[in-house]
Amino acid sequence: RRARAPERHRLRAADAPRRFREEVRTTLPHGIGHDLGLDEDGLDALGIG
């Protein structure tokens, strides 16, 4: 399965590359945490909630 940034994030990339990278740095680990079975409380405990 391939991780993909939501369309709204990809559209922002053209205008704000640094902001986009920051979004990916927070969104990707969060999504992976959910894929590994963590809920919001578990993600918060790891600092990626």
Which letter does DSSP use for residue 37 in this model? T
Closest CA to 21 of 3, 9, 33: 9
Q: How far apart are CA 20 and CA 37, in angstroms?
A: 26
- For residue 40, the model assigns a pLDDT of 94
The model carries a pTM of: 0.61
Per-residue exposure over 20-33, b if at least 16 CB sit within 10 Å of its own CB, e if not: beebeeeeeebeeb
Q: Which two tokens stand for residue 16?
A: 């704000």
Tell me the mean pLDDT per 10 residues along the chain, length 49.
65 71 89 94 92
- For residue 19, the model assigns a pLDDT of 80
- For residue 9, the model assigns a pLDDT of 64
- For residue 20, the model assigns a pLDDT of 80
What H or E segment, with its residue span, contains residue 33? helix 17-35
